[in-house]
Amino acid sequence: MLPVQDIYQSLLTTLQSNPMALLQAPPGAGKSTWLPLTLMREGHFKRIVMLEPRRLAARNIAQYLASQQNEIVGDSVGLRIRGESKVSSTTKLEIVTEGMLTRMLQNDPELSDVDLLIFDEFHERSIAADTALAFALETQAALRDDLKILLMSATLDGERYSEFFSCPIISSQGRSYPIDEVYIPLKDESRWLDDIPALIKQALSEQSGSALVFLPGQREIMRVQQSLNDLNDSVEVFSLYGEQNKKEQQAAIAPAKNGKRKVVLTTNVAETSLTIEGIRIVVDSGKRRAANFNLKTGVTELVTQSISRSSAIQRAGRAGRIEPGVVYRLGSKQTFERRNSHDAPEILTSDISQLLLEAKQWGASLAELSLLDPPSNQQIKQATALLKMLEAIDKNEKLTPLGSQMLSYGADIRLSHMLIKAKQLDQRMPGIYILAGYLTALLESRISMPADLNLALHSQHSKPHPVFKQQLNYWLSRLQLKPVNELKTEYLSLLVALAFPDRLAKKRGNGYLLANGAGADLSEEFWHNDDYIAIAHMGGHKGNRVFAAVAFMPSDLDDELSHLFTEQTRCEYDEKAGRFIHQDELKLGAITIASQPSKQPLDKSERTKAWLNLFSKQGFSLFNEQPDSEQLLIRMSLASKLLPESFPRLNHDDLIADSQWLAPYLDDIKNLEQLKKFNYSEAIKSCFDWQQQSLLNEHLPLRLTVPSGSNVKVTYQLDGPAKLSVRMQEVYGMTSTPLLAQGKLPLLMELLSPARRPLQLTQDLANFWQTSYRDVQKEMKGRYPKHFWPDDPANSQATNKVKSKM
């Protein structure tokens, strides 16, 4: 009996009485197979759509469930993945991949006839799954209160998800079969891959059955495969990864032949919702290839990193699907326990331009969507800039008809933009559309290629790599095009510019300046030395290494990409020359294409822009030292931080990044000397309204009145307590330390001698009077006999005079 069968009735009751539920069930519990099939067979729901994060798992689950029905895929059990749709009027359970579900929701927000959505393996937290769930929740709230949503995983962050979505958790205890754990400590972390072949051989010698070996990517798979040539004839080695064709994938998944054992070297595609008969050994490298988005360059680079504990549990679960199993983990148990509990969600580590565009099409802002982990403002800013370059949104950030068309294309939005525009241009530029198809196939195949895109395309055209050939056949069929004998590569730079407008680059020193403002370096294999290049592939450790590009001339892009070019006047102050630089410029993003002395006279507004630009580079160090202004800025920053409900966000970095608050005060400043002397306190005050300024003086006063009647200055700092330096006699009678910012900011009292030398530092004045004061009193009576040193300072008269004048 599968573990999920024990909780089936409880889950069904929960779903019938709640709009949403979470199912936490271990690998092998039957949640991806038995559960949806039983829900369909018993007719509790008219039509069920189950989302699977990976195409391989989706296809195999659909085939398995259809076989359980003695049917083919497309009858009661359907499948919808990119390039493959098998559904019919009799389909009651449809297995789909993430992008497909988003398209279904965008095309039919009511999800007509669907009454249960299942998100399988939700722990993977892909950006597409987060998007589809956010839309489904809006559909449920606004259009379909009868729609049910079920999230499933072995390793959900259950309590957090339950609280966020306000829904119950159903847990299935125990796995189908027990799994033993073996930890193999590493001698040298940097050479972990060298230890894998020996570990596989050890596992095969100690255990019966076949083995599933988890590695980060194809490169590691090929290297390990070459190291297993000496296995005996009874062991067959297979590889399994996402870019393989169906025939190779099915060979890897199929049961071992009679009398044979198999070793399957795989990536994360086999981590979830996949059963390979005969597998009872898992060898886990503990590594994965993950997307790491570089906000500066706009490049998503795949990096090798350690997996989380939840991923390790998922991987181990593959060993206990059919019988008791064992997992061999590379690394010590202590290393395993130090790993993060869950992998970072993709929405925080990826380019969110597709998500932002989907939200525009849906008619909602990202802030309005129920996203477990909202992207940062920086991510949104970067994505917005890219979507404008791709003409998907206009200058007012509204969705354009082209943007809608790009979403419906079912491809990466960059390539969608290129393909749509190439089709429109083909009548004037014959051959550009077929060239776009070949370029798309080249970029999507992810094969090793020469740095020169011209050379790369010609090379694949004459001697195609199998993966390129597979991609080319798909795209030619999709675009309804036929192969050609000759490619019109003179259009190549325009196509790259259409797909990657942010990566148009101009020579700068030994590298290049990109249109998005980032810098790029050339890889060692890159021999281009052109003034301008259009970059199709870049990445590397810092995301700034150029791997594949083509030369271009800005004039080649004037007609088709005119929106990328802007004419503007630049006014900057050159400190070395001691004068203003006033130029009329033609810009391509951050790149200056042409520049000449401005024909317009230098006016106040241009001069102010120059001063603001100088301030953005130097910050507050631009001005002469101003202790009072600095204290005001610190107080305002503290108010913003400690009392956010009463004060707007304000800090040094924000004020420098957005300096418009300063602009109205610079109109009459004509030279650098005047600017350095400028007192910026009034300008900063303008960031708070009159009421907020009054509250600032109330909660974080510049001075405090002490019992002697003196107004003593408080010194503030951004980190740490505020400080009040005052002579001890002036605070007699004060029984407690004053409170600042409603008690949220500590006050450090520096009690001074009559000669204003430090005697004591305290944040608890009442305790000081009762304890350490006695020792201070003894010493001070001898040193300053004319001054008042009472035995009970907490209840004595404060004074700023000697005893004879009190």
The CATH number assigned to the domain holding 28 equals 3.40.50.300
Whether 312 contacts 318, CB under 8 Å = no
pTM: predicted TM-score of the whole model, two decimal places: 0.74
Query: pLDDT: is 804 or 774 the higher one?
Result: 774
Residues 99 and 410 sit within 8 Å (Cβ to Cβ) = yes
Report pLDDT for 550: 93
Report whether 536 contacts 500 (CB < 8 A). yes
Residue 175 has pLDDT above 60, yes or no: no
Residues in the chain, overall count: 806
Whether 86 and 207 map to the same domain: the answer is: no
End of a domain among 122, 138, 171?
Answer: 171
Give the closest residue to 123 by CA, choosing from 31, 211, 9, 213: 31
Judge contact between 727 and 800, C-beta under 8 A: yes
- Summarised one tens digit per residue, pLDDT across range 278-333 is 888 999 998 988 877 777 777 777 788 888 888 888 888 777 777 788 999 998 88
Interhelix angle 492-499/413-425, nearest 10 degrees: 140
Residue 721 and residue 680 share a domain: no
In a domain, 602, yes or no: no
Rounded-to-integer distance, Cα 582 and Cα 474, Å? 53
Three-state DSSP at 220 gives: helix
Find where tokens 């993060």 sit: 340
Lowest average pLDDT, out of 24-28, 67-71, 365-369, goes to 24-28
Is residue 450 located within the same domain as residue 540? yes
What single string gives the DSSP state of each residue in 69-97?
TTS-TTSSEEEEETTEEE--TT--EEEE-
Tokens found for residue 714: 């408080």
Band of residue 56 on the pLDDT scale cut at 50, 70, 90: confident
Q: Are residues 632 and 483 in the same domain?
A: no
**Whether residue 331 is found in the same domain as residue 357:** no
- Identify the band that residue 190 occupies on the pLDDT scale cut at 50, 70 and 90: confident
Asked if 54 contacts 61 with a C-beta cutoff of 8 angstroms, the reply is: no
Is residue 590 domain-resident? no
As a whole number, mean pLDDT of residues 671-692 equals 91
pLDDT value at position 480? 93
pLDDT in tens, 576-606: 767 777 788 899 988 989 888 887 777 788 8
Tell me the pLDDT band of 493, cut-offs 50, 70 and 90: very high
Pick the last residue of a domain from 652, 667, 697: 697
Distance (Å) of CA 550 to CA 492, 567, 696: 7, 25, 57
Query: The tokens 């419906």 sit on which residue?
Result: 408
Mean pLDDT along residues 462-475: 90
CB half-sphere exposure, 109, CA atoms < 13 A: 15
Confidence band for 804, pLDDT divided at 50, 70 and 90: low
pLDDT in tens, 200-230: 999 999 998 889 999 988 889 999 999 888 8
Number of domains in the chain: 5
Query: pLDDT tens digits, residue range 407-465?
Result: 988 789 999 999 999 999 999 999 999 999 999 999 998 888 888 899 999 999 989 99
Tell me the pLDDT tens digit for each residue of 289-300.
Answer: 887 777 777 777
What's the mean pLDDT when you consider all of the chain? 88
401-408 helix and 413-425 helix, angle to the nearest 10 degrees: 110
For residues 52 and 40, what is the distance between their CA atoms, to the nearest angstrom? 17
Q: Is residue 605 part of a domain?
A: no
| Per-residue model confidence (pLDDT) at position 132 | 92
If DSSP codes are grouped into helix, strand and coil, which group holds residue 631? helix
Domain span at 512: 353-556
Q: Position of tokens 């700068």? A: 508
Shared domain for 634 and 715, answered yes or no, is no
> What phi, psi does 318 have (nearest 5°)?
-65, -20
**Residues 7 and 120 reside in one and the same domain:** yes
pLDDT band of residue 385 (cuts 50, 70, 90) is very high
CA dihedral 689, 690, 691, 697 (to 10 degrees): 110
pLDDT tens readout for residues 750-786 = 999 999 999 999 999 999 999 999 999 999 998 998 8
Looking at the structure, tell me whether residues 231 and 266 fall in a common domain: yes
| pLDDT, position 780 | 92
Does any domain span residue 574?
Answer: no
Which domain-ending residue is among 521, 536, 556? 556
Q: Give domain status of residue 615, yes or no.
A: no
- The pLDDT score that the predictor gives to residue 546 is 87
- Whether residues 338 and 487 share a domain: the answer is no
Residues 724 and 693 in one domain: no
Q: Report how far residue 315's alpha carbon sits from residue 272's, in angstroms, rounded to the nearest whole number.
A: 7
Same domain as 366, residue 229? no
